[in-house]
Structure 1
Amino acid sequence: MAHEFNTELTAQEEWGWLLALDLFFAGVGGGLFLLCLLFNLPPAVALLSLGLVVLGAVVLIVELGRPLRAWRALCKPFSSWISRGVMFVTLFIVFGALYSASAVDSLSWLVPAGDTARRTIGAIAGISALFVTLYPGFVLAASPSIPFWNSPLLPVLFTFHSLMAASGLVFLIAPLGLANAHLETIRYWGGILIVVNLALGAMYLANSKGAGLAAKEAVRRLNQGSLGLAFNVGVILLGMIVPLSVVLWMPSVIALAGLCILVGSLLFRYCVLKAGVYVPFPLT
């Protein structure tokens, strides 16, 4: 039997700034904790990462609209990436707090004594932090009705953007007393992360152009109108090109690069959400 299709492409309107803020705070927090582990950053940075993830969780509860029913998000861990994401966030908050407490003399009694215990707690927190950065991409990629999101590359893109944003936050807080050795290392890797994100973004958009009419329309939306301005100027130019230039040639104003990266990272999440276009559906 032949079907008639609705040929009008409809953009999703359910998710916007609130969810973008949640993904931003959680992603930056998770990425920052990973940088803490990788580069042995001060305990205060780990505490900051924990606070950001908690803030993201609060924003998510507000986004859900019914805070007292937020626990239901945990009910389907075997079938829902949202449930898995809530589990990863919860695990990170618990083990991230324990890891941070172990570095504070007045709170170290909360953690079993010994380096092995701290390393184990740090490993669990680190794995949880990694999945905190990954799971938003899996949530969106599990939406077959929006082909622009339905890509295995999206979780990777979210994770690398989270790491880049975390490096931007390190740049921003560096004047507050971060050791020069730490800053130089993060500056080096921050530059690499910017280049990687530029490459991944270009690859993602190129793949999307060949993923059907709805995905092609999403790419068009990212290049025209107000969303195009936010993406091309905010995400690409302000969020990556300008910071890369600062990292390479003007390290004395590295805090400016950090601010630009963070703004671009927030806009990246917003643009990905708002560019989503539903695939045409059958009318009969």
Structure 2
Amino acid sequence: MAHEFNMKLTPQEEWSWLLAVDLFLGGMGGGLFLLFLIFNLSPSIAVLSLGLVALGAVVLMVELGRPLRAWRALCKPFSSWISRGVIFVTLFIVFGALYSAPAFDSLSWLAPGSDTARRTIGVVAGISALFVTLYPGFVLAASPSIPFWNSPLLPVLFSFHSLMVASGLIFLIAPLGLESADLRSISFLGGILIVVNFVLGAMYLATSKGSGLASKEAVRRLNEGSLGWTFKVGVILVGMIVPLAVVLWTPSAMALAGLFILIGGLLFRYCVLKAGVYVPFPLT
């Protein structure tokens, strides 16, 4: 039986700034905790990461529309990436708090009974933090009606972008007391992350451009009009090229580079959401 299709390409309008803020805060918090573990940073960095993820969870509950019923998001872990994401966030906050709290004198009573127990808690917290950076990409990739999001590259891109944004936050707060040796190591990693994200983003756009009419239209939206300016100037120039130049040639301005990375990180999530276009649907 032949079908007629509605060939009008309709941009999605359900998700916009509020979800972009949630993805930004949660991803940055998860990435920050991973950097805390990798570089053995101050426990205050871990506390900040927990606060960012918790704040992102609050924003998500507001986005869901009925905060008092948000617990229902836990009820479908076998079929819903949002449900899995809530579980990852909960595990991260619990085990991240257990891992970092004993570093503060007033909370030393929370210290695990042995080094093995503490290492185990740290591993669980680290794995949970990794999935906090990954799951937003899986949430979007599980949307077959929007082919631009329906890509296995998206979770990887979101995770690496979260690490880049977390490094930007460290650049921004470094003047508050970060050890210079730690800053040098993180700035080196931050430069690598900018390059990796640029390459992953180019791959994502290239594959999306060849993935059908709706996906091709999404890429066009990222290159033209007001969204195109936001993407090219805000995400690429301000969020990546300028910070990379600062990291390479003007390390004394790292705080400014960090601010630019944060701006680009938020705009990246907004652009990915706003670029989404529904696949044409059959009329008969």
Is the pair's TM-score, using the shorter chain for normalization, greater than 0.5?
yes
Aligned-pair CA distance for 1:2: 0.3
Q: Indicate the residue corresponding to 2:26 in structure 1.
A: 26
Q: Distance in 1 between matches of 2:184 and 2:226?
A: 36
Q: Which whole-Å deviations, capped at 9, do the CAs of 1:68-125 have from their partners, x for residues lacking one?
A: 1100000000111010000000000101111121211210212323322221111101
Contact persistence 1:102–1:118 (CA under 8 A): no
Q: Distance in 1 between matches of 2:267 and 2:204?
A: 17
CA RMSD, 1 decimal: 0.6
Residue range with higher mean Cα deviation, 123-132 or 112-121: 112-121
Contact persistence 1:146–1:279 (CA under 8 A): yes
Q: Distance in 1 between matches of 2:152 and 2:102?
A: 37
Q: Which whole-Å deviations, capped at 9, do the CAs of 1:192-226 have from their partners, x for residues lacking one?
A: 00000000000000000000000000000001111
Q: Distance in 1 between matches of 2:112 and 2:156?
A: 35
Q: Distance in 2 between matches of 1:114 and 1:102?
A: 12
Q: Distance in 2 between matches of 1:226 and 1:102?
A: 49
Q: Which 4+ residue blocks in structure 1 deviate beyond 2 angstroms?
A: none
TM-score (norm 2): 0.99
Q: Indicate the residue corresponding to 2:14 in structure 1.
A: 14
Q: Distance in 2 between matches of 1:206 and 1:32?
A: 29
Q: Indicate the residue corresponding to 1:90 in structure 2.
A: 90
Aligned residues: 284
Q: Indicate the residue corresponding to 1:282 in structure 2.
A: 282
| 2:154 partner amino acid | L
| 2:266 partner amino acid | L
TM-score (norm 1): 0.99
| 1:90 partner amino acid | T
Q: Which whole-Å deviations, capped at 9, do the CAs of 1:130-167 have from their partners, x for residues lacking one?
A: 00000000000000000000000000000000000000
Q: Indicate the residue corresponding to 1:153 in structure 2.
A: 153
Q: Distance in 1 between matches of 2:249 and 2:137?
A: 33
Q: Distance in 2 between matches of 1:234 and 1:126?
A: 30
Q: Indicate the residue corresponding to 2:179 in structure 1.
A: 179
Q: Indicate the residue corresponding to 1:253 in structure 2.
A: 253
Q: Which whole-Å deviations, capped at 9, do the CAs of 1:176-206 have from their partners, x for residues lacking one?
A: 0000010000000000000000000000000
Q: What are the residue-to-residue correspondences of 1:63-142 with 2, within 5 Å? A: 63-142=63-142
Q: Which whole-Å deviations, capped at 9, do the CAs of 1:253-282 have from their partners, x for residues lacking one?
A: 100000000000000000000000000000
